[in-house]
A and B are shown apart, each in its own frame.
Chain A
Amino acid sequence: MSAPALRRLAWAAMVLLGLAAPYLVYPVFAMNVLCLALFASAFNLLLGYAGLLSFGHAAFLGAAAYVTGITLRTWGLPTELGVLAGTAVATLLGLVFGALAIRRSGIYFAMITLGFAQLVYFLVVQLPWTGGEDGLQGIPRGKALGLLALDGPVTTYYFVYVAFLAGFWLIQRAIHSPFGHVLRAIRENEPRALSLGYDVAHYKLLAFVLSAALSGLAGSLKAVVLQFASLSDVHWHRSGEVVLMTLLGGMGTVLGPSVGALLVVTLENYLADVGSWVTVITGAVFVACVLAFRRGIVGEVRALVRRSFIGGKP
């Protein structure tokens, strides 16, 4: 079987699984997985394809969640406008943070993004209309496109699923676009890309903004799904968690971050009974994964498939 055929098969499986999900598991759980999968995929666009490790992506997820919450609850705007507003704010934040952060690389880049995220966290705690420690509760889901009332979990699920597919499609298209090729070249050898006439900073910035925008979309959807926005969405734990999901699933693979998100959310959900031990267990799983298969779950599976079916090198 050829590589594109395998990819199509994986796609079909994913779409079908997504369609069936609300009848297989608790819909809110499935929606939560979708939101975090989109978040991790957006993060992976930056880490896996541009080679930039951001440690402040919670800022985009969280800021968008709050903006969506405010537009829907306080101003009573239609759902899709709330989602768009959240995404737009995350995009703008990405433009500002990105323009400053991409001047540095490696650990300095990570620290600048972390600094900005802490700034956002502080603002959310202090501003009067974010609900402070309590967060924003009781965000109405409203109606999608003014027609479809998002009151039932299954209807809401399909609304979120369509948005997820659109975001996910855009990410994988960006990866396999002329832009994606330049991005990979920059990740592989930045001075060489520069010497070929590419203004690498502009490409990195676009990757950063795209990643921020789609993280924002994930945050907005999350606010609609859970009907609240809380401080945990802007907390740096969230920025760490997305690194974990991406590495677990497989950095630089299209499906990896979603698999990682599924795994982390499942662990957190089904281990909730054991209380605070869940953090310890997730940590142990993470360490075991990174030690045993550094390419992540999907990365290892891909290498295995290439070795056994295609005969190419992993």
Chain B
Amino acid sequence: MPEETILETRDLVKEFAGFVAVNGVSLRVARGSIHALIGPNGAGKTTVFNLLTRFLPATRGAILFNGEDVTHARPADVARRGIVRSFQMSAVFPALTALENVRIALQRPLGTSFHFWRSERTLQALDARAVELLAAVGLEADRDTVAVELPYGRKRALELATTLALDPELLLLDEPTQGMGHEDVGRVVALIRHVAAGRTVLLVEHNLSVVQDLARRVTVLARGAVLAEGSYDEVSRDPAVLEAYIGAPA
């Protein structure tokens, strides 16, 4: 039985003034899986993320989420439909506390985010859930710490907790272990596995052991196009992939 597809792209193309960053990428991400997007620097991985979340408009091609065309949706709308991304550099709100960071994400469904006449105390109803989410990533002791003061690994954990607050169907993680020490990487891998339960994760990652550990399916991009796709073992033996990574003809 074929797996249900949550996200599909058809011949996605992004051109920047004569330079083709993404060239005819067709992806299928199966619901409930962890799918990794790998490739050498400049392969177009982050650009694909920006296209999927509509941070950049696609030049051509289509994006389907749950069978619906989201190629022309607005970025905030894409997020509300359930595609939530993280960023390559940690994306927290630096001057807010850890609790406030998570609460920003929880706040939107209340429908009072434009209510400038209402007291902020109405947000305290969200504190319990925010603390739960912080605890899920091991940050319960840091709830009142201003985000800018958290060490790097904890910032990434906070970012993940904020993302999870939206309960997204599809999580796009852009290099979640970038710039991390060995111990932090292990923590984040465990965390991703934990949060992937019951949802779909599309992951851009340079650390191949993380990819091997986590991803059921791997798509290799090179120069904006899909070079290979399959399980980690399959693609890691693919001569074209080896050439793209190491530069040696197989």
Interface residues of B (CB under 8 A from A): 53, 55, 74-77, 79-80, 84-87, 91-96, 100, 103-105, 107-108, 110, 112-120, 122-123, 146, 149, 162, 166
The smallest C-beta distance from A91 to any residue of chain B, in angstroms, reads 14
Contact, CB under 8 Å: A313 / B149: yes
Contact, CB under 8 Å: A195 / B53: yes
Contact, CB under 8 Å: A197 / B96: no
* Most interface-central of A173, A178, A181, A203 (chain B CB within 10 A): A178
Q: Which of A187-233 contact B (CB under 8 A)?
A: 188-189, 191-200, 202-203, 206, 210
Interface residues of A (CB under 8 A from B): 170, 173-174, 176-182, 184-185, 188-189, 191-200, 202-203, 206, 210, 313
A185 to B103, CA, bound (A): 11
Using known A-B contacts A193-B104, A197-B166, A313-B149, determine if residue A185 contacts B93 with beta carbons closer than 8 Å. Answer: yes
Contact, CB under 8 Å: A181 / B80: no
Residues of A within 8 A of B117 (CB): 170, 173-174, 177
Cβ-defined partner of B96 (8 Å) among A188, A198, A313: A188
Residues of A within 8 A of B122 (CB): 178
Q: Could you show 6 A-B contacts with beta carbons less than 8 Å apart? A: A170-B117, A181-B123, A182-B107, A189-B93, A195-B86, A197-B76
A110 to B202, CA, bound (A): 39
Closest 5 CB pairs of A and B: A197-B79, A174-B116, A188-B93, A179-B116, A192-B91
Contact, CB under 8 Å: B120 / A178: yes
* Most interface-central of A173, A188, A200 (chain B CB within 10 A): A188
Cβ-defined partner of A178 (8 Å) among B55, B79, B86, B118: B118
Q: Which residue of A lies closest to B94 (CB)?
A: A188
Cβ-defined partner of B104 (8 Å) among A177, A185, A191, A202: A185
Other than A185-B104, A188-B96, give 8 A-B pairs with Cβ distance below 8 A.
A180-B116, A182-B104, A184-B93, A192-B93, A193-B93, A197-B79, A198-B76, A313-B149
A210 to B119, CA, bound (A): 17
Residues of A within 8 A of B85 (CB): 195
